[in-house]
Structure 1
Amino acid sequence: MTSIEDAIGTKVAWPADKVVLENISINNVESTNISSPSSVNNSKKKCNLLDIGGSGKIVAEGHWSSSDPNQVVHFVPLGPNAMRVWVDIPRIPSASLWRPTSELECIEDAVGTTIAWPSDKVVML
Protein backbone atom coordinates (compact mmCIF):
# COMPACT_ATOMS: atom_id res chain seq x y z
CA MET A 1 0.00 0.00 0.00
CA THR A 2 1.28 3.39 -0.91
CA SER A 3 -1.67 5.63 -0.08
CA ILE A 4 -4.64 5.76 2.27
CA GLU A 5 -6.93 4.99 -0.67
CA ASP A 6 -5.16 1.62 -1.06
CA ALA A 7 -6.15 0.77 2.52
CA ILE A 8 -9.92 1.22 2.07
CA GLY A 9 -11.71 -1.90 3.25
CA THR A 10 -8.64 -3.35 5.00
CA LYS A 11 -7.25 -3.24 8.52
CA VAL A 12 -4.13 -1.16 9.06
CA ALA A 13 -2.06 -0.31 12.12
CA TRP A 14 -2.42 3.32 13.16
CA PRO A 15 -1.07 5.24 16.18
CA ALA A 16 -3.81 5.47 18.81
CA ASP A 17 -3.01 9.13 19.50
CA LYS A 18 -3.81 9.93 15.84
CA VAL A 19 -7.32 8.38 15.91
CA VAL A 20 -10.42 10.47 16.53
CA LEU A 21 -13.65 8.63 17.35
CA GLU A 22 -16.87 10.47 16.60
CA ASN A 23 -20.44 9.30 17.12
CA ILE A 24 -19.49 5.70 17.83
CA SER A 25 -21.31 3.50 20.32
CA ILE A 26 -19.56 1.58 23.11
CA ASN A 27 -20.63 -1.72 21.50
CA ASN A 28 -19.01 -0.63 18.25
CA VAL A 29 -15.78 0.32 20.02
CA GLU A 30 -15.55 -2.98 21.90
CA SER A 31 -16.27 -5.05 18.80
CA THR A 32 -13.49 -3.35 16.84
CA ASN A 33 -10.95 -3.71 19.67
CA ILE A 34 -10.09 -0.01 19.76
CA SER A 35 -8.18 0.45 23.00
CA SER A 36 -7.71 4.08 23.85
CA PRO A 37 -8.22 5.18 27.44
CA SER A 38 -10.71 7.82 26.31
CA SER A 39 -12.61 5.60 23.86
CA VAL A 40 -14.85 3.72 26.31
CA ASN A 41 -16.53 5.14 29.39
CA ASN A 42 -15.94 1.88 31.29
CA SER A 43 -12.19 2.36 30.95
CA LYS A 44 -12.34 5.12 33.58
CA LYS A 45 -12.88 2.65 36.43
CA LYS A 46 -9.83 3.28 38.59
CA CYS A 47 -7.92 0.41 40.11
CA ASN A 48 -4.74 -0.49 41.94
CA LEU A 49 -2.43 -3.25 40.77
CA LEU A 50 -1.01 -5.45 43.50
CA ASP A 51 2.41 -7.11 43.39
CA ILE A 52 2.26 -10.41 41.49
CA GLY A 53 4.66 -11.90 44.04
CA GLY A 54 1.97 -11.82 46.72
CA SER A 55 3.40 -9.12 49.00
CA GLY A 56 0.13 -7.16 48.83
CA LYS A 57 1.98 -3.96 47.89
CA ILE A 58 0.41 -1.62 45.35
CA VAL A 59 2.80 -1.50 42.39
CA ALA A 60 0.74 0.84 40.19
CA GLU A 61 -2.40 2.89 39.87
CA GLY A 62 -4.39 2.56 36.71
CA HIS A 63 -7.80 2.03 35.22
CA TRP A 64 -9.68 -1.01 34.06
CA SER A 65 -10.09 -1.67 30.36
CA SER A 66 -11.54 -5.17 29.93
CA SER A 67 -12.08 -8.59 31.46
CA ASP A 68 -13.04 -10.22 28.15
CA PRO A 69 -10.78 -13.29 27.79
CA ASN A 70 -10.81 -12.82 24.00
CA GLN A 71 -9.29 -9.33 24.18
CA VAL A 72 -5.72 -9.12 22.93
CA VAL A 73 -2.95 -7.44 24.93
CA HIS A 74 0.31 -7.01 23.04
CA PHE A 75 -0.75 -9.66 20.51
CA VAL A 76 -1.63 -12.26 23.20
CA PRO A 77 -5.24 -13.15 24.17
CA LEU A 78 -6.08 -12.03 27.68
CA GLY A 79 -7.39 -15.45 28.72
CA PRO A 80 -9.31 -16.40 31.87
CA ASN A 81 -8.80 -14.83 35.32
CA ALA A 82 -7.07 -11.78 33.88
CA MET A 83 -7.86 -8.14 33.23
CA ARG A 84 -6.59 -5.65 30.72
CA VAL A 85 -5.65 -2.45 32.57
CA TRP A 86 -4.05 0.87 31.69
CA VAL A 87 -1.04 1.77 33.83
CA ASP A 88 -1.26 5.42 34.90
CA ILE A 89 1.05 5.91 37.89
CA PRO A 90 3.86 3.54 38.85
CA ARG A 91 4.16 3.18 42.63
CA ILE A 92 7.00 0.64 42.48
CA PRO A 93 8.54 1.36 39.05
CA SER A 94 10.84 -1.68 39.08
CA ALA A 95 8.03 -4.18 39.86
CA SER A 96 7.92 -7.04 37.36
CA LEU A 97 5.10 -7.35 34.87
CA TRP A 98 2.94 -10.46 34.92
CA ARG A 99 3.44 -10.96 31.16
CA PRO A 100 6.59 -9.14 30.10
CA THR A 101 7.33 -8.53 26.43
CA SER A 102 10.50 -7.68 24.55
CA GLU A 103 9.76 -3.98 25.16
CA LEU A 104 7.95 -4.05 28.51
CA GLU A 105 9.59 -5.69 31.51
CA CYS A 106 8.57 -3.62 34.53
CA ILE A 107 5.72 -1.35 35.62
CA GLU A 108 7.65 1.79 34.67
CA ASP A 109 7.88 0.55 31.05
CA ALA A 110 4.10 0.10 30.90
CA VAL A 111 2.99 3.63 31.84
CA GLY A 112 0.46 4.84 29.28
CA THR A 113 -0.27 1.43 27.78
CA THR A 114 -2.41 -1.59 28.56
CA ILE A 115 -1.12 -4.72 30.19
CA ALA A 116 -2.60 -8.01 31.34
CA TRP A 117 -2.81 -8.45 35.10
CA PRO A 118 -4.23 -11.32 37.20
CA SER A 119 -7.80 -10.56 38.29
CA ASP A 120 -7.04 -11.42 41.91
CA LYS A 121 -4.28 -8.77 41.93
CA VAL A 122 -6.53 -5.91 40.70
CA VAL A 123 -8.36 -3.84 43.32
CA MET A 124 -11.19 -1.78 41.86
CA LEU A 125 -11.64 1.65 43.45
Structure 2
Amino acid sequence: MKVYVDVVVNPKAYLWRPTVNMRNVEDSLNCFVAWPANRVVMETTPESPPLQPSTSKASSTGYQNEKSPVTPKAPVKKPATTLKAARASPRRKLQPVAFKENQKCKLIDLIRKNHVVAEGRWSSNNPASVVHFVPLGPKACRVWVDVVKDKDAAVWRRSSEIECMEDAFGTSIAWPEDKVEPLME
Protein backbone atom coordinates (compact mmCIF):
# COMPACT_ATOMS: atom_id res chain seq x y z
CA MET A 1 0.00 0.00 0.00
CA LYS A 2 1.30 3.50 -0.75
CA VAL A 3 1.32 5.49 2.52
CA TYR A 4 2.16 9.15 3.17
CA VAL A 5 4.18 9.61 6.37
CA ASP A 6 3.20 12.86 8.09
CA VAL A 7 3.91 11.89 11.74
CA VAL A 8 6.77 9.72 12.97
CA VAL A 9 6.15 7.83 16.21
CA ASN A 10 9.20 5.53 16.22
CA PRO A 11 11.97 7.26 14.21
CA LYS A 12 14.45 4.33 14.38
CA ALA A 13 11.99 1.73 13.04
CA TYR A 14 13.11 0.24 9.75
CA LEU A 15 11.09 0.75 6.58
CA TRP A 16 9.40 -2.27 5.05
CA ARG A 17 10.93 -1.43 1.63
CA PRO A 18 14.11 0.60 2.25
CA THR A 19 15.61 2.62 -0.60
CA VAL A 20 19.00 4.23 -1.12
CA ASN A 21 17.77 7.47 0.48
CA MET A 22 15.40 6.07 3.11
CA ARG A 23 16.12 3.24 5.56
CA ASN A 24 14.32 4.32 8.76
CA VAL A 25 10.88 5.82 9.31
CA GLU A 26 12.47 9.16 10.28
CA ASP A 27 14.00 9.36 6.77
CA SER A 28 10.54 9.09 5.21
CA LEU A 29 8.86 12.05 6.94
CA ASN A 30 6.63 13.93 4.44
CA CYS A 31 7.18 11.22 1.79
CA PHE A 32 5.29 8.28 0.34
CA VAL A 33 6.47 4.79 1.28
CA ALA A 34 5.34 1.25 0.49
CA TRP A 35 3.85 -0.57 3.48
CA PRO A 36 2.02 -3.91 3.88
CA ALA A 37 -1.73 -3.30 3.62
CA ASN A 38 -2.44 -5.56 6.59
CA ARG A 39 -0.23 -3.32 8.76
CA VAL A 40 -1.97 -0.01 7.97
CA VAL A 41 -4.64 1.45 10.22
CA MET A 42 -6.95 3.85 8.39
CA GLU A 43 -7.82 7.02 10.30
CA THR A 44 -10.58 9.44 9.39
CA THR A 45 -10.72 13.17 10.03
CA PRO A 46 -13.91 15.08 10.93
CA GLU A 47 -14.17 16.48 7.37
CA SER A 48 -13.63 13.14 5.60
CA PRO A 49 -16.41 10.55 5.23
CA PRO A 50 -15.97 7.42 7.34
CA LEU A 51 -14.45 4.45 5.58
CA GLN A 52 -16.99 1.76 4.79
CA PRO A 53 -16.01 -1.89 4.35
CA SER A 54 -16.32 -2.89 0.72
CA THR A 55 -17.58 -6.08 -0.84
CA SER A 56 -15.64 -5.34 -4.04
CA LYS A 57 -12.90 -7.77 -5.04
CA ALA A 58 -10.83 -4.90 -6.51
CA SER A 59 -9.77 -3.47 -3.18
CA SER A 60 -6.98 -5.31 -1.40
CA THR A 61 -7.66 -3.64 1.95
CA GLY A 62 -11.44 -3.79 1.82
CA TYR A 63 -12.20 -0.06 1.93
CA GLN A 64 -14.33 1.82 -0.61
CA ASN A 65 -12.60 5.22 -0.42
CA GLU A 66 -9.39 3.73 -1.74
CA LYS A 67 -8.75 4.22 -5.46
CA SER A 68 -7.40 1.11 -7.11
CA PRO A 69 -6.27 1.16 -10.74
CA VAL A 70 -7.64 -1.51 -13.03
CA THR A 71 -4.95 -3.90 -14.18
CA PRO A 72 -5.24 -4.53 -17.90
CA LYS A 73 -5.50 -8.10 -19.12
CA ALA A 74 -2.55 -9.73 -20.84
CA PRO A 75 -2.48 -8.95 -24.57
CA VAL A 76 -3.84 -11.72 -26.78
CA LYS A 77 -2.98 -12.00 -30.45
CA LYS A 78 -5.86 -12.95 -32.70
CA PRO A 79 -4.95 -15.55 -35.34
CA ALA A 80 -5.70 -14.85 -38.99
CA THR A 81 -9.14 -16.26 -39.79
CA THR A 82 -8.31 -17.48 -43.28
CA LEU A 83 -5.24 -18.39 -45.25
CA LYS A 84 -6.02 -15.55 -47.68
CA ALA A 85 -6.14 -13.02 -44.84
CA ALA A 86 -2.84 -14.33 -43.49
CA ARG A 87 -1.14 -13.90 -46.90
CA ALA A 88 -2.61 -10.41 -47.39
CA SER A 89 -1.18 -9.20 -44.09
CA PRO A 90 1.77 -6.88 -44.74
CA ARG A 91 3.29 -7.66 -41.34
CA ARG A 92 6.01 -10.24 -41.19
CA LYS A 93 6.16 -12.67 -38.32
CA LEU A 94 8.66 -11.58 -35.70
CA GLN A 95 10.72 -14.28 -34.09
CA PRO A 96 10.60 -14.23 -30.28
CA VAL A 97 13.77 -12.99 -28.66
CA ALA A 98 15.72 -15.70 -26.86
CA PHE A 99 16.82 -14.35 -23.49
CA LYS A 100 19.58 -15.69 -21.28
CA GLU A 101 19.22 -15.77 -17.52
CA ASN A 102 20.21 -12.41 -15.94
CA GLN A 103 20.24 -10.70 -19.37
CA LYS A 104 19.37 -7.02 -19.00
CA CYS A 105 15.98 -6.09 -20.38
CA LYS A 106 13.41 -3.31 -20.42
CA LEU A 107 9.75 -3.60 -19.52
CA ILE A 108 7.34 -1.89 -21.89
CA ASP A 109 4.13 -0.33 -20.54
CA LEU A 110 1.05 -2.52 -20.76
CA ILE A 111 -1.02 0.17 -22.50
CA ARG A 112 1.29 2.75 -24.11
CA LYS A 113 3.51 1.50 -26.92
CA ASN A 114 7.27 2.08 -26.67
CA HIS A 115 6.98 3.54 -23.14
CA VAL A 116 9.61 1.93 -20.90
CA VAL A 117 8.38 1.62 -17.29
CA ALA A 118 11.35 -0.28 -15.84
CA GLU A 119 14.66 -1.98 -16.51
CA GLY A 120 15.71 -5.26 -15.04
CA ARG A 121 17.05 -8.74 -15.60
CA TRP A 122 15.38 -11.70 -17.31
CA SER A 123 14.79 -14.67 -15.02
CA SER A 124 12.53 -17.26 -16.67
CA ASN A 125 9.64 -17.89 -19.03
CA ASN A 126 8.91 -21.42 -17.82
CA PRO A 127 5.10 -21.54 -17.37
CA ALA A 128 5.57 -23.63 -14.20
CA SER A 129 7.85 -21.00 -12.58
CA VAL A 130 6.29 -19.27 -9.61
CA VAL A 131 6.24 -15.51 -8.89
CA HIS A 132 4.91 -14.55 -5.46
CA PHE A 133 3.27 -17.99 -5.10
CA VAL A 134 1.46 -17.78 -8.48
CA PRO A 135 2.57 -19.84 -11.53
CA LEU A 136 3.60 -17.78 -14.57
CA GLY A 137 1.47 -19.58 -17.12
CA PRO A 138 1.79 -19.22 -20.91
CA LYS A 139 3.18 -16.12 -22.68
CA ALA A 140 4.56 -14.67 -19.42
CA CYS A 141 8.00 -14.27 -17.94
CA ARG A 142 9.61 -13.51 -14.59
CA VAL A 143 11.89 -10.46 -14.45
CA TRP A 144 13.83 -8.77 -11.66
CA VAL A 145 13.13 -5.02 -11.45
CA ASP A 146 16.41 -3.09 -11.01
CA VAL A 147 15.48 0.42 -12.21
CA VAL A 148 12.02 1.98 -12.11
CA LYS A 149 11.40 4.54 -14.88
CA ASP A 150 7.68 5.19 -14.25
CA LYS A 151 6.92 4.64 -10.57
CA ASP A 152 3.13 4.95 -10.97
CA ALA A 153 2.82 2.49 -13.87
CA ALA A 154 0.50 -0.45 -13.27
CA VAL A 155 1.99 -3.89 -12.83
CA TRP A 156 0.55 -6.76 -14.81
CA ARG A 157 -0.38 -8.95 -11.83
CA ARG A 158 -1.09 -7.03 -8.64
CA SER A 159 -0.69 -8.47 -5.16
CA SER A 160 -1.25 -7.10 -1.67
CA GLU A 161 2.37 -5.89 -1.63
CA ILE A 162 2.88 -4.86 -5.28
CA GLU A 163 0.33 -2.53 -6.85
CA CYS A 164 2.49 -0.22 -8.96
CA MET A 165 5.97 -0.31 -10.46
CA GLU A 166 7.45 1.59 -7.50
CA ASP A 167 6.45 -1.33 -5.23
CA ALA A 168 8.16 -3.82 -7.57
CA PHE A 169 11.65 -2.29 -7.18
CA GLY A 170 14.15 -4.93 -6.07
CA THR A 171 11.86 -7.92 -6.51
CA SER A 172 10.75 -10.23 -9.30
CA ILE A 173 7.42 -9.80 -11.07
CA ALA A 174 5.46 -11.47 -13.85
CA TRP A 175 5.30 -9.55 -17.14
CA PRO A 176 3.91 -10.39 -20.60
CA GLU A 177 6.67 -11.83 -22.80
CA ASP A 178 5.77 -9.57 -25.73
CA LYS A 179 6.29 -6.51 -23.49
CA VAL A 180 9.92 -7.37 -22.61
CA GLU A 181 12.77 -6.29 -24.87
CA PRO A 182 16.54 -6.73 -24.57
CA LEU A 183 18.37 -3.69 -23.23
CA MET A 184 20.98 -2.47 -25.70
CA GLU A 185 23.96 -0.89 -23.99
TM-score after normalising by structure 2: 0.44
What residue in structure 1 maps to residue 112 of structure 2?
54
Supply the AA of the counterpart residue of 2:170: G
For 1:80, the equivalent position in structure 2 comes to 138
Shift of 1:75: 0.7
Structure 2 alignment gaps of length 5 or more: 1-99
The structure with the larger Rg is 2
Q: 2:157 aligns with which of 92, 99, 109?
A: 99
Aligned counterparts of 1:98 and 1:118: Cα–Cα separation in 2: 8
Find the counterpart in structure 1 of residue 80 from structure 2: none
- The corresponding residue for 1:19 is none
| 1:53 Cα offset (Å) | 1.1
Structure 1 alignment gaps of length 5 or more: 1-41
Q: Could you tell me how far 1:87 is from its partner in structure 2?
A: 0.3
Pick aligned residue for 2:167 from 84, 109, 112: 109
Deviation at 1:56, TM superposition (A): 2.1
**Equivalent residues, number:** 84
Task: Say which of 71, 81, 96 aligns to 2:129.
Answer: 71
More helix, by proportion? 1
Identity over aligned pairs, percent? 56
Task: Name the SS of the counterpart of 1:69 in structure 2.
Answer: coil
Distance 2:134 2:112 in 1: 24
Q: Compare relative contact order (CA 8 Å, sep 6+) and give the higher one, 1 or 2.
A: 1
- Let me know the Cα RMSD of the aligned residues: 1.0
TM-score by length of 1: 0.65
Detail structure 1 runs of 4+ shifted over 6 Å in the superposition: none
